[in-house]
Amino acid sequence: MSKKILIAAALAVAVGLPAGAMATPEEDRIQFRNHFQDRFSEVPLEEYPNGVYAIDPVGRENWEAIEEFPPYEPFIDTGRDMWEKPFANGKTYADCFPDGPGIAHKYPHWDKDKGMVMTLPLALNNCREANSEEPLKYKKGPINDLLSYIAFESRGEVTNVVVPEDDPRALAAYEDGKKFYYTRRGQLNFSCAHCHVQNGGLVLRTETLSPSLGHTTHFPVYRSKWGTVGTLHRRFTGCNKQVRAKPFEAHGEEYRNLEYFLTYMSNGLELNGPGARK
């Protein structure tokens, strides 16, 4: 199944097939999920939000020990303070997001009015700017505190990304994200799918490669390598650098569309962020 996915995607990129010519998003998602369930038949579907620890029993033991005293807890507390603290004009994030703070499952989504994929960090900065506040940096710093709190309050919600059938621009954004995921790049000539679809579960430089399914459910994450919490787009940046490719702008069109596709692939899985990883 994985070879069919990779070959079909590579062929579409190579010959320039129009958006939607290969398969519908839902057909993609079913193929994507079936690949991992066939490859790791002993792993229950609900385990995939745990990332590599769903398939690596040794790593899981260490991870479970870390989760007894989660390193991301201080960030949740700081994020709660940020959510509740009024802006200079007296309003708060709750005025922009009345259904909050447990809103992580509503992102990313297609914003028909703006004609673009709307991610949660971008929406938070739009809220700040609408209230005459400076936007936050997208990969490091306070944005992660706020996202950690929102993710914590969203635990148990289910990923449910929608690609509206009545707006071809949404399908084009999804297809762009899909193309990004399967396209080789950088001096190492790797795609995202090479590591996390084709070789998920194999060992590279002593590290087990995590499966793509569930990748977006646990962000932001505290990485021991970083010594702090980081966003999904920071991780995208790191992956591009690891294959020696020039990264794109965080929450620019390329990474927003990539997030749209990758999150759609995890539809039906529960959110369990913030997470802890090596």
pLDDT attached to residue 203:
87
Average pLDDT, the chain: 92
Predicted structure pTM score: 0.91
- Which CATH number describes the domain made up of 2-70+165-277? 1.10.760.10
pLDDT attached to residue 205:
79
Compute the average pLDDT of residues 17-38.
83
Domain ranges in the chain are 2-70+165-277, 74-153
Strands 221-223 and 275-277 come out as: parallel
Specify whether the CB–CB gap between 104 and 216 falls below 8 A. no
- Annotated catalytic residue: which of 127, 192, 195, 239? 239
pLDDT (tens digit, 9 = 90+) per residue, 237-265?
999 999 999 999 999 999 999 999 999 99
10 Å CB burial of residue 50 (0-12, 13-18, 19+) is buried
CATH topology of 2-70+165-277 equal to that of 74-153?
A: yes
Residue 138 has pLDDT above 80, yes or no: yes
Specify whether the CB–CB gap between 120 and 108 falls below 8 A. yes
pLDDT-based confidence at residue 278 (cuts at 50, 70, 90): confident
Specify whether the CB–CB gap between 93 and 85 falls below 8 A. no
Would residue 239 show up in a list of annotated catalytic residues for this protein?
A: yes
pLDDT (tens digit, 9 = 90+) per residue, 81-120?
999 999 999 999 999 999 999 999 999 999 999 999 999 9
Is the CATH number of domain 74-153 1.10.760.10? yes
